[in-house]
Structure 1
């Protein structure tokens, strides 16, 4: 054993004499930090770095099998899921690792903002962090496109449509993004290059620079009310604090980072095992236009916001809001680089962060179930509840068969069962007269298509008769008030006049 230890030491010294990396790495690991920074609030940066390493490792392994061509991308993922041992688990790790990385980076940015850590002398550290957040989102978007399923195809089409609205250079940007005017083979090659080489390379360089600046400028000390950041005195005050209460980052402060990073990794593994990989859904087919593409979790809030915007506000919002938002984040440390850091002395910052967090949560929730386009569930195979067939005439029962065979329950529910795209029909006859029902069936209206050409007169008559029996709680049927007035007038008028 002593001999083995001696050989390992000699090998280490051999490399150290030539590379000289040992001492700088040890100095970096043991660099002193203020004792008050040994907190669970300061663990998100390390966790994001660990998740980035996970993405690199799993991405390299996936690239060994993935075929970045329009004709083979989808099938290569199917091959990974079903023919490569633990291939599905590898894809799931990569996909869930991406979502966790975005979440951790966003929380880290929020914590930095909340603690005022963007102020002097860490302005550039914050700006680089903003760039890292944007690049992380870029990695997630390009990764979704590489699945090249139906969601990815149409989602990319929507993204290209948004970019095309940029004045003057919109068309050129689309050509650069897609490798031409349409989504084709060159498109996937470009996104593969961005996802595997370009964005990770920039990320790696900026992460290294970010870590270097943290080592050089120190970890932001715990904000204290009344401790003002001034450019003329802060560095001296920080060094005094570090000298008085400093502890080595490894191991005194790093153990919390290690525990939190391990917990995050276990959470990623658990999600990968329980929920599996994302997609691929159906194969991309440009002839199928009746589709509702939905982005990955990180972009659901954008999806919801754009869906709720009036059409005339879409283009101004998409072109102006991102510029203002990113510009404000980049200019923040330059405008507010001095002053209080404690949240109790920065109520506007706390309110702003709270509003943004609540809005992101609400729109993300809305994006998960698209309330602007109600859920459509096919119920054609289920029989109509028997209660709706009791005491019905043969014609009304024939109408129930038409209702079933024409798959009206794909969009409408009765008895609490059926689609939710259209209104429930349990009380239809209480709300619409027979003439109105006939007109709605034949001509359509609102979101309902016209069925005048899909039904023959006998089917229409039977269907309408059945629909007129749908009176909730046996309430009276709807009547045409204007017709009642006419009939009342005729009865009141004496004969012969």
Structure 2
């Protein structure tokens, strides 16, 4: 022990950390703040460290290249020992982090913790929320599957609508005029270096200000925040009815953070990693890309808006929302904190939460992507197989046996998750049909491992018969032009 004490003294004499650490650990906080309502900030910081740790391990394997990104994720999922679990921990950690940060912001708003003298603490929290969402979006892009490819295309289309500088912003975002390897390199740098670095800096400032200004007291009705007297009243409260942060408040933070990590690990074990889905293919345009869960509300809102309202909404609404959040502590920085005497604040919070829940539900189950409830037991309409060849009829059998009718309708019967197939042969060439069946894309999973080559051939032959009478089949424009030149 004496040897350890000597080593400790050697480091302490040079670093001199004992005093600041003790001051931070033992600083008094109001007794009522040692509560389960105050654990979300620590949990968010724990999840940030989890994301950084798992992200570093993933970055060792991941190759931000248009030709290799998708393949490296599949190697992690299927070849590297526990690679799938590492990806799952990172993906579910992102989901939990977004959820915990949102809950923490709602709790701070409800408790009036943005009021004097914690205005800057709230502003830093708003930027941390935006960076958390930015981490989530850039992480989805790095999956570089069909959803990520077309989702990024939609995002670039939205950004291009910014007046004057829209084109330059798109070029800066994509690293060129198209989505390619340079795009992944830029998103990789944002996801691994820029945003995490900024989040660590802002988190450090956020914690520093919490230590210096104190944890917001429990919002008691009638306890009014006044700039002239608040600091004196708060200091008196911590002296009369205060407890040291360690251990009275810390043990709840540690317990809740451990529970959150356990929940992330459980979801990773049970549900596995996110994707990647079908390999990105710009030639497959019959796709319906969807964002990850926490952006589904925006997806639904944009889907329901009239076309003429879409551009004003995406350019104006987010800017107004961010400005309102940033201005809140400066406009309403004094007065009551208790939610019992702030009915407008409670109504706003409930309205936002209910609206978010409704639009998220609509984003999952909407007319363009409803609950998959069609019954595949109905036979393929006789008229579609009456005069077909044996191979095409065999394809109809494959179509039936693999329950394709759960997602696709023929003759008005079947599911609506995917597009109706009555005219699919006029939209996709044979090569495109084969690629779609094998690799999937959009909402459609890849069936390359579930179908034998003869089954794929038969199925595609059947699909090529699905076109209205008198309508020509889809052709490859490039091949058609070469054939004409060859003449």
- Scaled by the length of structure 2, the TM-score of the pair is 0.81
Residue in structure 2 matched with residue 225 of structure 1 by the alignment: 221
Pick closer, same or farther for the CA change 1:311–1:7 going to 2, 3 Å. Answer: same
Residue in structure 1 matched with residue 3 of structure 2 by the alignment: 7
Any residues of structure 2 matched to 1:141-156 within 5 Å, and which? 141-156=137-152
Residue deviations 1:420-457 (CA, integer Å, cap 9, x gap)? 36999xxxxxxxxxxxxxxxxxxxxxxxx9723269xx
Tell me whether 1:32 sits opposite 2:28 in the alignment.
Answer: yes
For residues 282 and 173 of structure 1, what CA distance do their matches in structure 2 show?
28
Tell me whether 1:199 sits opposite 2:195 in the alignment.
Answer: yes
Any residues of structure 2 matched to 1:66-215 within 5 Å, and which? 66-215=62-211
| Matched positions, count | 416
| 8 A contact 2:131–2:195 mirrored in 1 | yes
Tell me whether 1:315 sits opposite 2:332 in the alignment.
Answer: no
Pick closer, same or farther for the CA change 1:17–1:281 going to 2, 3 Å. Answer: same
Residue deviations 1:340-398 (CA, integer Å, cap 9, x gap)? 00001110000000000001111111112333444678988x5529xx9xxxxxxxx65
**Structure 2 unmatched ranges of 5 or more:** 421-465, 473-487
**Structure 1 unmatched ranges of 5 or more:** 389-396, 425-448, 456-497
Any residues of structure 2 matched to 1:221-260 within 5 Å, and which? 221-260=217-256
Pick closer, same or farther for the CA change 1:401–1:270 going to 2, 3 Å. Answer: farther
Q: 2:362 aligns with which of 340, 363, 366?
A: 366
Please say which structure displays the higher CA radius of gyration.
1
For residues 220 and 453 of structure 1, what CA distance do their matches in structure 2 show?
73
Following superposition, the deviation at residue 246 of structure 1 comes to 1.0
| 8 A contact 1:33–1:248 mirrored in 2 | yes
For residues 367 and 421 of structure 1, what CA distance do their matches in structure 2 show?
13
Residue in structure 2 matched with residue 276 of structure 1 by the alignment: 272
Any residues of structure 2 matched to 1:328-407 within 5 Å, and which? 328-374=324-370, 382=377, 384=379, 401=386
Following superposition, the deviation at residue 411 of structure 1 comes to 4.3
Following superposition, the deviation at residue 29 of structure 1 comes to 1.3
| 8 A contact 1:412–1:421 mirrored in 2 | no
For residues 377 and 281 of structure 1, what CA distance do their matches in structure 2 show?
22
Residue in structure 2 matched with residue 21 of structure 1 by the alignment: 17
| 8 A contact 1:377–1:411 mirrored in 2 | no
| 8 A contact 2:369–2:416 mirrored in 1 | no
For residues 203 and 142 of structure 1, what CA distance do their matches in structure 2 show?
14
Equivalent residue of 1:64, what SS?
helix
Pick closer, same or farther for the CA change 1:49–1:179 going to 2, 3 Å. Answer: same
Following superposition, the deviation at residue 185 of structure 1 comes to 1.1
For residues 401 and 12 of structure 1, what CA distance do their matches in structure 2 show?
87
For residues 402 and 356 of structure 1, what CA distance do their matches in structure 2 show?
57
Residue deviations 1:79-133 (CA, integer Å, cap 9, x gap)? 1111111000000000000000000000000000000000000000000000000
Residue in structure 2 matched with residue 54 of structure 1 by the alignment: 50
Residue in structure 2 matched with residue 471 of structure 1 by the alignment: none
Equivalent residue of 1:222, what SS?
coil
Following superposition, the deviation at residue 297 of structure 1 comes to 1.0
